[in-house]
Amino acid sequence: MTEENPLFTELYRLDAASLKRLLKIWNIQKPGRDKKSQIQQLIDTMSDEFYVRGILEKLSPVQVGIYTAILSTKDRVMTLGEIARKFTLQPASAEMEMGVLKRYFLVYQRKNRERLTNTLDRYYAYRESSDHVRVETNDKGQKFRQSLVKVLRSRKDLPAEWKKAANALNTKAGIQEQLKKLVDELGDLEQEIVLRAYNQGGILEISPAREFIEEERGKWIDIVRKMDAAGLLLDDYYVDERFVRMLVMPIEVFEYLTEFPLILKPKKGIKRSQEKVIGNDLDFFINIKKQIVYITRKGLNLAKSGKIKQTDLRETENRLLRPDIALFLEKSQIYQIELLLPVMRLLDIVRTKRDDVVLRNDFDAVLQSDPLKLMKQVMAEVRKSRERVTRYEEVFESVYVPFFQPAVFDETVKLIGEMGRCLYTTVMAIMIRDHVVLDKDFRIQNFPDRLNEYRKELTSALFFLQLFGLIRAHYPDRWIEISSLGEHFFKHKPLKEDDEKGGIIINPDLSIIAIPEKLSLHGLYLLKAFCEVKSFENVYNFQLTRESFQEGILLKAKKEEFLDFLKKTSRNDLPQNLSYSVEEWTNNFPLVTITDECVVLQTEDPNHMDLLLGQIGAKKVVLQQISPTTILIDPDRIYEVVEQVERLNLIVKLVR
């Protein structure tokens, strides 16, 4: 290297402190001991595209514009005056921006000696670094659609990872076989980086990747270089106001991980959870009925903040069924009542009255409705919920998991149906790639916000699919598939209607073991209505008690239908004490009715009451007759009654 080289000349002029600072800027971890070796290190580093990218990341939009403008000229040179005019800057401001580029050693300055102005000072791009700079855009998302085969064949030499398997690039099967070897050989941290990029639709900004690797005490330079060399994650960049540097997953790698998902191994000391398959069936819709019964029996008083009290949160959780909502671990701690009340408000069967949540309208019809029909009614209301303009009280808003957006929900269902059994993260990755990463309006500036917003929509769609029993989850890895209930709802496939003999085993203590594969959804509904669910580990363990049976009656489930179901499906004869207990619990039903906000109508003369009942008795105005001169009437029909009283020439005395 001679002194005629501008880079060598400028580096040689630096003192020891300036050299040390420059070595740090260019991320040289182990500098040489003397000045000559340090200069050689800097020249080699500045000729390495990997390190050049690290400097380009740091440039501001104005500096990017200036630098790319210099590179676009024939000799890679511009005067200060040309720069100031092109970017509408004052000469002093332009000089300040050029000072930054000089400190990074991307450009060098040759001052004008002939005039007293600095606007004719020329700024040249160093050839060592500028030879490796590509001024490319990503207007059509082409950077995110790169082919692994084309990228590898465009390199001077095939990377070591592919040299032995050069023929593998000729077939899809060969590519997938080699990718399997490469992915399997990755360390835990490297696999996690690959998975993070995949889950974001195949891209990962270099800054968060670097931060994560350093937090995990990894060597980010080694990992990024290794990923790029193997073609798993390409270290690439483009110009969008700034130099945007990203790890980009080639199409073939994304497709491979979609077909053969990467599942991380449990960390040391963490035992792998037991494998199980869980479907919620109609549990959520049975819980709507149970919540109605809870409010009629216990009431629901809110805290002064307008939120549900802790005592009610805990007590309802103990009384309600517990549908599985662990697909998203962060959502698994939500109380059922917090999910039920917003849906019940959509059905218009609850409202707030001072500090209480009270039932309204024809909630009794919801109790009497078939759970399957109730599910369809709920789905219809939830689909329309995004069109609602007015806000409900906070207790009725779906705060923790917003109701799904129908378009996202429908596409999620369609994708799961096409894929069959798949990881829920795979579904999210595919949809993020299609609707965020490859969107024609993609901009890196709003990518984090857009990604978070769309993830929330996908989370809502998958969460309610699971909550409503429309998908089944396979734990611990969280594979999902459309359930039989989902197949019925989305594709109108018939549900299992027959309950098989031997589907349940009834013990003398009235505990019941139920095998779900042998029972229909309606059969399971009867068990869940009349019995207490003790546990579920592939089979159900129920307990029939006085309280659970009487709650089944309040849920408007039919006792005769339940007993017929038990006789039909029990593997053994019904215990003798079962019939006796059911008969006793039915006859001894200690129901006390307390009516809130009832309107009392009284007459002085029983004859006047008879006259009045002749006019209003058939109009569903009278709730109950207490005595010959006293009745309870519907609070919403007061003025209608007043009108009838006046027609009979009776005198009205309205007490409020």
Confidence at 656, pLDDT banded by 50, 70, 90: low
Contact 535, 321 (CB under 8 A): no
> In sequence order, what are the residues at sequence separation of 6 or more whose Cβ sits closer than 8 angstroms to the Cβ of residue 346?
378, 381, 382, 385
Structure tokens belonging to residue 530: 């009349």
Query: What is the H or E stretch that residue 97 is in?
Result: helix 91-103
The domain segmentation of the chain, as residue ranges, is: 6-131, 148-259, 278-396, 406-491, 504-588, 599-648
- Local structure of residue 401 (DSSP, 8 states): S
Fold of 406-491: Arc Repressor Mutant, subunit A (1.10.10)
Q: Is the pLDDT of residue 114 over 70?
A: no
Looking at CATH, the fold of the domain delimited by 599-648 is given as: Alpha-Beta Plaits (3.30.70)
Beta strands per DSSP E along 483-547 = 504-506, 511-514, 532-536, 540-543
Give the alpha-carbon dihedral of 260, 261, 262, 264, to 10 degrees. -130
Grade residue 624 by pLDDT with cuts at 50, 70 and 90. Answer: confident
H/E run at residue 624: strand 622-627
pLDDT reported for residue 574: 87
Give yes or no for residue 2 having a pLDDT over 60: no
- What's the mean per-residue pLDDT of the chain? 91
Q: What is the mean pLDDT of residues 544-567?
A: 94
Task: Give per-residue pLDDT as tens, 64-77.
Answer: 999 999 999 989 99
Check if the beta carbon of residue 246 is closer than 8 Å to that of residue 205: yes
| Beta-carbon count within 10 A of 462 CB | 28
Confidence of residue 166 (pLDDT cuts 50, 70, 90): low
Question: Distances in Å between the alpha carbon of 138 and those of 70, 72, 238, 243?
Answer: 21, 18, 6, 11
Residue 521's H or E segment, with its range, is helix 521-530
Average pLDDT over residues 362-368: 92
**Gap between the Cα atoms of 101 and 56, Å rounded:** 10
Instruction: Decide: pTM greater than 0.75.
Output: yes
Residue 1 confidence (pLDDT): 41
pLDDT classification of 3: cutoffs 50, 70, 90:
very low
Q: 317 — alpha (psi -120 to 50), left (phi > 0) or beta?
A: alpha
Distance CA 314, CA 335 (A): 8
Half-sphere exposure of residue 467: CA atoms within 13 angstroms, side-chain side: 28
User: How far apart are the C-alpha atoms of 556 and 485, rounded to whole Å?
Assistant: 23
Helix, strand, or coil (residue 633): strand
Strands (E), 363-467: 422-423
What tokens were used for 63? Answer: 């500096």
C-alpha–C-alpha distance, residues 118 and 114, integer Å: 10
348: left (phi over 0), alpha (psi -120 to 50) or beta: left
Determine the Cα–Cα distance for residues 125 and 108; give it in Å rounded to an integer: 7
Question: What is the predicted pLDDT for the residue at 306?
Answer: 87
Angle between helices 310-319 and 283-298 (to 10 degrees): 130
Contact 227, 190 (CB under 8 A): yes
DSSP letter for 58, please. Answer: T
User: Which two structure tokens, joined as six digits, stand for 139?
Assistant: 């207007």
22 Rama class: left (phi>0) / alpha (psi -120 to 50) / beta? alpha
* The residue type at 178: Q
Three-point CA angle 150, 152, 157, nearest 5°: 135
Whether residue 401 is predicted with pLDDT greater than 80 in this model: the reply is yes
Which tokens in the block code for residue 351? 């409202």
**Nearest residue to 425 (alpha-carbon basis) of 458, 450, 457, 385:** 458
Categorize the per-residue pLDDT at 272 as very low, low, confident or very high, splitting at 50, 70 and 90.
Answer: confident
Residue pair 569/499 in contact by the 8 Å Cβ criterion: yes
Residue 396 scores a pLDDT above 60: yes
Give the highest mean pLDDT range of 255-259, 354-358, 645-649: 255-259
pLDDT tens digits for range 447-467: 999 999 999 999 999 999 999
Give the class (CATH, top level) of 148-259: mainly alpha
Task: Answer yes or no: same fold for 148-259 and 599-648.
Answer: no
pLDDT in tens, 136-157: 888 888 999 999 999 998 888 8
CB of 84 closer than 8 Å to CB of 65: no
pLDDT at 653: 79
Mean predicted confidence (pLDDT) in 255-279:
88
pLDDT at residue number 342 = 95
Q: With helix as H, strand as E and coil as C, how does 549-591 read? A: HHHHHHCCCCHHHHHHHHHHHECCCCCHHHHHHHHHHHHCCCC
Helices 91-103/61-72 angle, 10° precision: 80
Calculate the alpha carbon distances from 575 to 500, 503, 524 in Å.
19, 16, 20
Q: What percent of the chain has pLDDT over 90?
A: 71
pLDDT computed for residue 533 by the predictor = 94
Topology of 6-131 in CATH?
Arc Repressor Mutant, subunit A (1.10.10)
The residue among 208, 54, 201, 71 whose CA lies nearest residue 135 is 71
Nearest residue to 135 (alpha-carbon basis) of 240, 59, 46 = 240
DSSP state of 516: G
Contact 468, 412 (CB under 8 A): no
Q: Scanning the structure block, which residue is given the tokens 């000045």?
A: 35
Phi, psi of 434 (to 5 degrees): -70, -40
Which pLDDT band holds residue 164 (cuts at 50, 70, 90)?
Answer: confident
Question: Phi and psi for 446 in degrees, rounded to 5?
Answer: -105, 10
**Single-letter amino acid code for the residue at 413:** V
Which amino acid, one-letter code, is at 98? Answer: M
Indicate if the pLDDT at residue 650 is higher than 90.
no
User: Are 375 and 410 contacting, i.e. CB atoms less than 8 angstroms apart?
Assistant: no
d(CA 546, CA 319) in angstroms, rounded, equals 14
